[in-house]
Amino acid sequence: MLNRRVRSTISLILFVLPAFILYLLFLVIPMLQGTYFSFTDWDGLSKSYSFVGLSNFIEAIRDDDHFRSSVWFTTKYVFFAVVFQNVLALLLAMLIESQKRAKGLFRTIFFMPNMLSVIISTFMWVFVFSKVIPALSEYSALKFLNLSWLGSPAVSFWSIMIVSLWGSVGTLMLIYMAAIQGIPQHLKEAAIIDGAQPMHMLRYITLPLIAHALTICIFLTLNSSFKVYDLVYALTGGGPGRGTQVITMNILEEAYLGNNRYGYASAKANILFIIIFVITIIQLSIMKKREVEA
């Protein structure tokens, strides 16, 4: 007979095993295969292919103007998305937490966009940008709204940003609210008695004590922003031209939509992975140090 500890270990392994098998089949093995094919000229269909070494990576970085422009657009999107999403979510969290009534109602209202599918909510925003806002501009004094919201690369970027904020702030807000609720009440009361102003409360009490939430939220927004696809595709399709094409759209186009350069697309995907990995490591190392100091 097996003792209790061995039986417990076996039962834990059996519980974890199905998820681990799925993890291997749908994440680890495809990732390793993609890394392997990034050094080949495979088209994704034929049985034969040749090893090309680092030429795919060199071509993507040195010669592919479309890829470089998609990297630049994605980088710009990531920067503004991380800043705006976290700032707005934190402000909303502090504002709602400062209220004595209807906290649940406000939480529900701001979280509701997260309950909708990204594609459905984005199609709704396409209608708003193409029909509702032009009508407001035409039949009211809001003439400044008469812009090509989805037809101009410069304006389309901010249209994408608006929809991104609308759909993602609710989740981050809840994380910040949970962190704010965990701040000891006696610290707030002592600061108020000492005459601390709201900005001092924010700088010396709130931000240091919710540093762990900042780490989590910035990590989430960094990863989701670098991998954004469906939102941009449903809003602009990467257009006009390639003015709003993100890296993920460029990779998919290279692999499947006419080019059939699966090996080359895999190299681009690996470049994206390296970018995300390096930035994430830097972000976590910096933020974790601030948590320790706090």
Instruction: Give the tens place of pLDDT for each residue, 197-233.
Output: 878 788 888 888 888 899 999 999 999 999 999 999 9
For residue 294, what pLDDT is reported?
Answer: 47
Buried b (16+ CB within 10 A) or exposed e, 71-92: bebbbebbebbbebbbebbbeb
For residue 2, what pLDDT is reported?
Answer: 60
**Rounded-to-integer distance, Cα 155 and Cα 244, Å:** 10
Check whether 241 has a pLDDT greater than 50.
yes
Give whole-number Cα distances, 162 to 119, 229, 235, in Å: 15, 15, 11
Contact 233, 291 (CB under 8 A): no
With a pLDDT cut of 90, the percent of the chain lying above it is 50
Buried b (16+ CB within 10 A) or exposed e, 206-239: beebbbbbbbbbbebbbebbbebeebbbbbbebe
- Please, what is the average pLDDT of the chain? 88
Query: In this predicted model, which residue has the larger pLDDT, 276 or 207?
Result: 276
Burial classification of residue 251, based on how many CB atoms lie within 10 Å of its CB (0-12 exposed, 13-18 middle, 19 or more buried): buried
Buried b (16+ CB within 10 A) or exposed e, 33-62: ebeebbbbbbeeeeeeeeebeeebbebbee
Instruction: Give the tens place of pLDDT for each residue, 107-155.
Output: 888 888 888 888 888 989 999 998 888 888 888 877 778 888 888 888 9
**Rounded-to-integer distance, Cα 248 and Cα 74, Å:** 9
Three-state SS at 58: helix
Instruction: Give the tens place of pLDDT for each residue, 24-36.
Output: 999 999 999 999 9
**Rounded-to-integer distance, Cα 235 and Cα 253, Å:** 17
Apex CA 135: angle with CA 133 and CA 138, to 5°? 110
Domains with residue ranges and CATH for the chain? 60-293 (1.10.3720.10)
For residue 4, what pLDDT is reported?
Answer: 78
